[in-house]
Amino acid sequence: MGFQLLISVLLISSFYSQYGESASDFLSVRDFLSDSDNTNANQSQAFQKAWKALCAGKSKSLVIQANEAYTLLPQVFQGPCVASNPHIQIDGKIEAPKQVKDWGSKDIENWLSFDKVSDLTITGSGLLDPHGESWWSSVKFESRPQALQFNRCNNLIYNGLTQRNSPKNHISISNCIQATLSNIHLIAPANSPNTDGIDISLSKKINIFSSTIQTGDDCIAIKGGSSDINVTRVDCGPGHGISIGSLGEGGATETVQNVYVQHCTFTGAANAARIKTWPGGGGYAKNIRYEDITLINTKLPIFIDQQYSDRSSKSAKGSAVKVSDVTFRYFRGTCAQPIAIKLDCDKIGCENIVLEHIKITSSSPGTSLSAYCHFADVISSFVNIDIKCRSANHHQAPSPSPELPSQYDQPHAQLPQPSAPHAQTRSFFSFLQFN
Ligand SMILES: *[C@@H]1O[C@H](CO)[C@@H](O)[C@H](O)[C@H]1NC(C)=O
Ligand SMILES: *[C@@H]1O[C@H](CO)[C@@H](O)[C@H](O)[C@H]1NC(C)=O
């Protein structure tokens, strides 16, 4: 008891000596805001000033404590920074004006954007809420802003935050090299339009793990120019799954490669694993692996769609985005619709599509499930759903076995775990440093 008390006193006094006394140890938005003028514009200005001070290296951290709340108009937090590891701790709440008309301008691509900032760490248990609900019905998709953009980033860490109700996608990672996103929670209603969780484009070495995404569109969409993307232990649903694409829209040449999705659960999602490419496009999606996937009432869990299009553009020009070397392994769980696997390829075909250890049953007892396969070169083994493919090579290993090895019957079975991500270590240490 006495010992505990001593420890508490020591902790509290070290808290005050390091946090309380010297203001320059960390920045606060409050330091840039006077009590008298506290409009949205003032809070935005104060936030910008705090960012500039952080970026200039005046302090290691900018801290928004749990009891702080700010309303921000759209902001670009511009780099490059003098500070070598700018750190923002958000334990409080940051929101946008509740009505579209109060955002100032409608012509904005992002609510909050970090541009050209290297080695940025944003951590905390706080909430970002741009009140997208006022945008969904009143502004068309192309004109709605993304909630949070990281553009031209390098070695980003984004950990712990919750984001709610984005006008469009919640997070955009574009033109980035090396980013780790973990322990984040993205939440929007199942029927909210185009509210993707995380969109990745023109980026490589992106690591997303231990997060929940419940939105109205793709939980994660991996778009053109992306490679070396790992998604681990993400719970998705409602939502449209973890998707590659869409690629090749309007005849574009786009590529995605080296995507590894593992230990993920899809609950009430439209799809789990989906690859979507437009007819008439060029480029490829290759070397993609979905592994150890748990399905709970997912509508169409495995879906390669090389015929993706909206009905307005029906100009199939004969070319297609090439899809090859795609593996689906250790899928188990339930499916809400009669077709569980749909491999809908163009005439150029999908090459080397491997399905192994798939055990999907219908969520309606007594209903049997089927697969649709068109022009896919499929290699399957231990798949409990018969796959017959039209006009493509189809190798089927010994007859499908309904039994999976028992270790994979449990959700998130003991497949090799990824080694501890170094990024977590870094954020841990930067927290220590900040203390
Ligand atoms: C608050 O906003 C008003 C009007 O936008 C501006 O004149 C004033 O300088 C601002 N105050 C601070 C502290 O930024
Ligand atoms: C993704 O996982 C693979 C296999 O575990 C690993 O070799 C690779 O470095 C990881 N990539 C990233 C960006 O974390």
CB of 195 within 8 A of CB of 220?
A: no
What the block records as the tokens of 134 is 């006022």
The C-alpha atoms of residue 28 and residue 191 are separated, in whole angstroms, by 37
The label of the residue with tokens 């491997």 reads 354
* Ligand 1 mutation pick, 33, 45, 47, 73, max ligand atoms within 8 A of CB: 45
Q: Which ligand is nearest to the CA of 73?
A: 1
User: What number does the ligand 2 atom closest to the CA of 178 have?
Assistant: 13
User: What number does the ligand 2 atom closest to the CA of 419 have?
Assistant: 5
Can 217 be counted among the known catalytic residues? yes
DSSP 19: I
Confidence of residue 25 (pLDDT cuts 50, 70, 90): confident
Q: How many CB atoms lie within 10 A of CB 66?
A: 12
As for ligand 1, residues whose beta carbon falls within 6 Å of it are 34, 37, 39, 41-42, 45
Predicted pLDDT of residue 107:
82
Minimum mean pLDDT range among 240-244, 361-365, 366-370, 403-407: 403-407
The C-alpha atoms of residue 265 and residue 311 are separated, in whole angstroms, by 31
Catalytic site residue from 185, 240, 263, 374: 240
The tens digit of pLDDT for each residue in 87-104 reads 999 999 999 999 999 998
180 Cβ contact partners less than 8 Å away, ≥ 6 residues apart? 156, 157, 158, 159, 206, 207, 208, 209, 421, 423, 424
What the block records as the tokens of 340 is 């569980």
Question: Rounded to two decimals, what is the model's pTM?
Answer: 0.86
What residue owns the CA closest to ligand 1's atom 14? 42
Residue 154 predicted with pLDDT over 90: yes
Can 131 be counted among the known catalytic residues? no
Q: Mean pLDDT over all residues of the chain?
A: 87
Question: Who has greater pLDDT, 341 or 313?
Answer: 341
The C-alpha atoms of residue 323 and residue 308 are separated, in whole angstroms, by 13
CB of 411 within 8 A of CB of 265?
A: yes
The tens digit of pLDDT for each residue in 264-299 reads 999 999 999 999 999 999 999 999 999 999 999 999
Length of the chain in terms of residues written: 435
DSSP 431: H
In 3D space, the residue among 113, 116, 127 whose CA is nearest the CA of residue 76 turns out to be 113
Q: What is the dihedral of CA 289, 292, 295, 300, to 10 degrees?
A: 20
Q: How far is the CA of 170 from the centre of ligand 2 (A)?
A: 24
In 3D space, the residue among 406, 411, 377 whose CA is nearest the CA of residue 394 turns out to be 377
Predicted pLDDT of residue 2:
47
Q: Which ligand is nearest to the CA of 46?
A: 1
Residue 14 predicted with pLDDT over 80: no
What the block records as the tokens of 90 is 């958000």
Q: Report the Cα 142 to chain-centroid distance in Å.
A: 20
Predicted pLDDT of residue 59:
96
| DSSP-derived 3-state class of residue 11 | helix
* Ligand 1 mutation pick, 31, 32, 42, max ligand atoms within 8 A of CB: 42
Q: How far is the CA of 47 from the centre of ligand 1 (A)?
A: 12
Q: Which ligand is nearest to the CA of 31?
A: 1
CB of 285 within 8 A of CB of 263?
A: no
The C-alpha atoms of residue 149 and residue 114 are separated, in whole angstroms, by 6
The C-alpha atoms of residue 322 and residue 376 are separated, in whole angstroms, by 11
